[in-house]
Amino acid sequence: MKRVGLAALFFAALFVGWELLYRSGFWSPVLLPSPLVVGRYLWEATVDGSLLSATLVTVKRLFLGYVFGLLLGLPLGLLTARFRVLADTLGLMALGLQALPSVCWVPLALLWFGQTEAAMFFVVVMGTLWSVIIATDNGVRNVPPIYARAARTMGSSGLHTWLYVIFPAALPFIVGGMKQGWAFAWRSLMAAEIYVTILSGFGLGHLLHYGRELNAMEQVIGIMLVLLLIGLLADKIFFSPWERFLHHRWGTAK
Amino acid sequence: MSLSDEVSVEAPAAKLSIKGVSKRFVSGKRSVHALDDVSLDVGEGEFVCLVGPSGCGKSTLLNLVAGLDLADSGQISADGIPINAPGRDRMVMFQEAALFPWLDVLGNVMFGLRRKPGLTDAERCKVAEFYLRLVGLEKFHRAFVHELSGGMKQRVALARALAPNPRVLLMDEPFGALDALTREQLYGDIQRIWQQRKKTIVFVTHNVREAACLGDRVVLFSPHPGRIREQFKIDLPRPRDINSVELARHTTAITAALKNHVRPEAEVAE
């Protein structure tokens, strides 16, 4: 409770500081609108439904691409860790592509798929896939061999060992990779939405972009706040429970 | 198989037979002759300790009996059946407890039981609880591995190894990483459990006193290549105390033999 109070106080102070900066008149109101104006924009956009529909479009793109990237990346990472042939080929490629900023996929995706959902899906998958492969592969390689040996003496072998020993043992690394994959996917999706008009649906990136075109700074800042909130919520809803679970089991919590 | 079978002491006869076993490890250009023509019989219900300095092949032999590795030549069998893979009739305890951190204590003990067919989950749970009580950890079912002390971890590992009711327990320096006080408690526990459960135990250690305290027989290995040098029968009554005077007589004899067979630079703990 004390921590929540502290956080509330901190953010309240931030907004008050912002309002004071605005009132000082040091910057033009076009460049720095009052937080109240931003709040009004958010309220209006919520009431007329544009904010909600854009959020849904964006979150759906992110979710579909991310889940697909995970479903593809996890088994591929296990395979590259298991078979040297795959480590020397696919693993090496994943390592290279993971280092590539995933926004670099945007031009390619547009040429291949046009201004469609497919292009967005592709970009998000590319952002997710490689980090998940690398993290899973790395996680498996860090599993102490004694675990698999102990499991063998207890009658576990083959697929059972992979599912019930190697995979859970690699989980701390895998969750780290999932988080990194999510961060890459989220950033590349925003870049794509801001720079390209996707005809099949307007996401938050478009709203941000149009805010700039219309010189509506309250819209730009408002959308940024929404993006920030989505990032925070994703962390708190999807990753925090996993990390708490792992810290609890492995005893790595502070 | 019924629940009473699972916790019964009437396990079938076990006898390990090791005949002319050799094993070489090659890594790059180096080749280590870990075992050279080693033969050893372990009787049913016998507690045999393998001692010797590092590199004498005692752990290698244990891994071969466990079925975790394969011999280059020679034969290893349990009750006349050749060993070429791990089996639930031979459970292993390692120097590190090797417990799974993603499972709680009960889950760890259940791991091997879940691989054992013919039991319901409720029965498996009962069996696991039985063995946790046997090692004195009945209050720690839901604890996680990191919450346990080193000694408690090895107790869980012991319960986990006992749970599938194996006939043979293979222990690879299981108390090596523990402090002296915890170790002494475990010496008592392991002797009590061995007598109650009538297991055949092969116990690897480099600690001569520990070997003499626990074993019916102490088998002395020497390294480069790994060979059996001498065997000592320890006919002291049980339970034995690691600090007893009678034990010292045996320890002195074994240590003297060890010095005789092993070049002085090889390190051995007394």
Is residue B113 a part of any domain in this protein?
Answer: no
Cβ–Cβ below 8 Å for B100 and A169: yes
List, for chain B, all residue ranges whose pLDDT scores fall below the cut of 50: 1, 11-14, 265-270
CA distance A254 to chain B (A): 13
Which residues in A have their CB inside 8 Å of a CB on B?
Answer: 144, 146-147, 149-156, 160, 164-165, 168-169, 171, 248-251
Mutate to test the interface with B, among A146, A153, A252 (most CBs of B within 10 A): A153
Which residues touch A174 (CB under 8 Å, ≥6 apart)?
A74, A77, A132, A135, A136, A139, A167
pLDDT score at B7: 63
Cβ–Cβ below 8 Å for B111 and A156: yes
Least CB–CB distance from B98: residue in A150, A168, A250: A150
Contacts of residue A147 in chain B, CB cutoff 8 Å? 98, 100
Contacts of residue B147 in chain A, CB cutoff 8 Å? 251
CA distance B188 to B23: 34
Is residue B268 a part of any domain in this protein?
Answer: no
Contacts of residue B92 in chain A, CB cutoff 8 Å? 149-150, 153
Number of domains in chain B: 1
Contacts of residue B160 in chain A, CB cutoff 8 Å? 154
**Rounded to whole angstroms, what are the CA distances from B230 to A146, B227, B252, B269?**
31, 9, 14, 18
Domain of B238, CATH number, reads 3.40.50.300
List, for chain A, all residue ranges whose pLDDT scores fall below the cut of 50: none
Would you say how long chain A is, in residues?
A: 254
Q: Which residues pair with B221 in a beta bridge?
A: B228
Cβ–Cβ below 8 Å for B116 and A155: yes
Domain that holds residue B251: 3-100+167-261
Helices in B67-104 by DSSP H: which ranges? none
Cβ–Cβ below 8 Å for A149 and B94: yes
**N-terminal to C-terminal alpha carbon distance within chain A:** 19
* CATH C-level class of A56-222: mainly alpha
Domain ranges of chain A: 56-222
Cβ–Cβ below 8 Å for A153 and B100: no
* Nearest chain A residue (CA) to B64: A153
Task: Report the DSSP pairing between strands B81-82 and B217-222.
Answer: unpaired
Residue whose C-alpha is closest to residue B23's, from B77, B74, B66, B72: B72
Is residue B83 a part of any domain in this protein?
Answer: yes
Least CB–CB distance from B144: residue in A144, A147, A251: A251
Least CB–CB distance from B98: residue in A146, A160, A171: A146
**Rounded to whole angstroms, what are the CA distances from B259 to A39, B57, B253, B266?**
85, 17, 10, 9
pLDDT 10s digits, B147-185: 998 889 999 999 999 988 888 999 999 988 888 888 888
Cβ–Cβ below 8 Å for B102 and A248: no
pLDDT score at A101: 85
* Nearest chain A residue (CA) to B93: A150
pLDDT score at B244: 86
Is residue B134 a part of any domain in this protein?
Answer: no
Least CB–CB distance from B66: residue in A146, A153, A248: A153
Is residue B248 a part of any domain in this protein?
Answer: yes
Is residue B7 a part of any domain in this protein?
Answer: yes
* Nearest chain B residue (CA) to A153: B86
Both tokens assigned to B3 = 């629940």
CA distance A133 to A78: 8
Which residue matches tokens 């591929």? Answer: A76
pLDDT score at B1: 47
Is residue B151 a part of any domain in this protein?
Answer: no
Residue whose C-alpha is closest to residue B110's, from B133, B134, B127: B127
What angle, rounded to 10 degrees, do the helices at A204-213 and A50-82 form?
130
Mutate to test the interface with B, among A146, A154, A156 (most CBs of B within 10 A): A154
CA distance A105 to A226: 25
| ipTM (interface predicted TM) | 0.84
Contacts of residue B124 in chain A, CB cutoff 8 Å? none
Is residue B122 a part of any domain in this protein?
Answer: no
